[in-house]
């Protein structure tokens, strides 16, 4: 089917991607997968909104990658303010500025293979691969002219500083804690008490936190 037909067929309860005109169904996410995604979404969304940098969205939300004939559903994506014209009601028409994929056993080859190539070819500037199973995170940045990724940081611990989210940093070992650290404590470490309070209040007003 065409991508337009795929979007018309797709509903909010169906997790699927569009690959060369065919529908590829996705497996339901595990509890840990959902927890890590929500943790990252809370941190990045709060930071992006406070600094008026752009929009953060989580799956299920379609991304149309015209260059490689794909319609993907990243676990998490960020669209910078200057690219918000790409954002449609039901999909993003073009590359996000940041894609985060949380690796699961069934998605390893897709996230580290197909999507790694596709996101680079489509021009996604920053790609994060978070693997809770082996407690390892890889962060890649795009070489725009070559349309290929170069490793920016990788490991089970340490601090990664994003380029597309100026000033934002992530302590990798937070992702492996069980339970994950409270959002207010991580925000406090990132920016101090006043910063944490502003972000938390903004997230509560948006209904993202109780």
Instruction: Answer whether residue 60 is part of any domain.
Output: yes
Q: Quickly tell me which residue has 């998490």 as its tokens.
A: 76
pLDDT in tens, 92-133: 999 999 999 999 888 898 999 999 999 999 999 999 999 999
Instruction: Answer whether residue 191 is part of any domain.
Output: yes
Give the structural domain span for 158: 3-205
Predicted pLDDT at 190: 81
Say which CATH number the domain at 107 has.
Answer: 3.90.1570.10
pLDDT in tens, 20-55: 888 888 776 788 999 999 999 999 998 998 899 999
Question: In the predicted model, is pLDDT for residue 210 greater than 80?
Answer: no
Predicted pLDDT at 207: 81
Predicted pLDDT at 79: 98
Helices of type H across 20-132: 31-50, 108-109, 115-122
Instruction: Answer whether residue 210 is part of any domain.
Output: no
Terminal CA-CA length for the chain: 41
Q: Is 72 exposed, middle or buried (0-12, 13-18, 19+ CB in 10 A)?
A: buried
The domain total for the chain is 1
φ/ψ of residue 94, rounded to 5: 135, 180
Question: In the predicted model, is pLDDT for residue 13 greater than 80?
Answer: no
Of all residues in the chain, what percent carry a pLDDT higher than 70?
100
Write out the two tokens for 118.
């596709």
């Amino acid at each position: 089917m065409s991508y337009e037909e795929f979007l018309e067929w797709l509903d909010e309860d169906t997790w699927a991607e569009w690959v060369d005109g065919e529908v590829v169904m996705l497996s339901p996410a595990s509890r840990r997968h959902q927890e890590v995604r929500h943790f990252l979404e809370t941190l990045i969304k709060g930071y992006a909104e406070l600094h008026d940098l752009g929009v953060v969205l989580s799956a299920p939300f379609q991304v149309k990658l015209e260059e490689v004939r794909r319609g993907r559903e990243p676990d998490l994506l960020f669209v910078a303010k200057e690219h918000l014209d790409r954002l449609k009601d039901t999909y993003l028409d073009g590359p996000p500025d940041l894609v985060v994929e949380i690796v699961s056993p069934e998605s390893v080859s897709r996230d580290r293979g197909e999507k790694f190539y596709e996101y680079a070819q489509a021009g996604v500037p920053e790609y994060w691969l978070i693997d809770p199973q082996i407690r390892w995170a890889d962060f890649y940045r795009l070489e725009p002219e070559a349309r290929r990724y170069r490793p920016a940081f990788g490991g089970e611990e340490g601090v990664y500083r994003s380029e597309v989210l100026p000033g934002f940093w992530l302590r990798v070992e937070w992702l492996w804690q069980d339970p994950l650290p409270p959002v207010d404590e991580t925000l406090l470490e990132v920016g101090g008490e006043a910063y944490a309070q502003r972000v938390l209040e903004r997230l509560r007003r948006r209904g993202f936190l109780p």
